[in-house]
Structure 1
């Protein structure tokens, strides 16, 4: 079962309050997305920990209902 971009964005925003989230469907199949997540909570945090925070927000959906996610995490200017 595929996930909708809005559902992915909502889950990330719920897990990382205040985050600016942009989701792009890369293949048009609802399984391959790119996410750009901008959050002040990423400041001073390693890229690995930033990505782990996003994956945690997605719960068990990564690798299950969400097949692939190209992830970019950013600290606001």
Structure 2
């Protein structure tokens, strides 16, 4: 299975009911080996950072077997409103 930024975006949006997902392929030659994601979901409300990251890792368990590096930022909609570019 080839992991793509689009596939990761769709899966996180669907499974975590994310209201916003940014996925960037950070591989030097865009070979889908390294990704950086930002996930905004109301499912993160009241959850500590570690639990949020576990939710993302669980959602992408199969994909992470193919990825060499994965960086994530998880925010609630309220946190995103405060941080997003105007």
Q: TM-score range by the shorter chain?
A: 0.7 to 0.9
Question: 1:1-77 alignment to 2 at 5 Å?
Answer: 2-27=2-27, 28-62=30-64, 64-77=65-78
TM-score after normalising by structure 1:
0.86
The structure with the largest alpha-carbon Rg is 2
TM-score by length of 2: 0.78
Q: Number of residues paired by the alignment?
A: 76
Moved >2 Å (runs of 4+): none
Unaligned runs of 5+ in 2: 79-86
Runs (5+) with no aligned partner, structure 1: none
- Is the 8 Å Cα contact of residues 38 and 74 (structure 1) preserved in structure 2? yes
Please state whether the residue corresponding to 1:10 is helix, strand or coil.
helix
- Rounded to whole Å, the distance in 1 between the matches of 2:77 and 2:18 is 11
Which has the larger share of helix?
Answer: 2
How far off its partner does 1:19 sit?
Answer: 3.5
Question: C-alpha distance in 1, partners of 2:71/2:2?
Answer: 16
Deviations 1:31-62 (A, max 9, x none): 10100001111111010000111111113221
The one of the two structures with greater contact order (alpha-carbon pairs below 8 A, sep at least 6) is 1
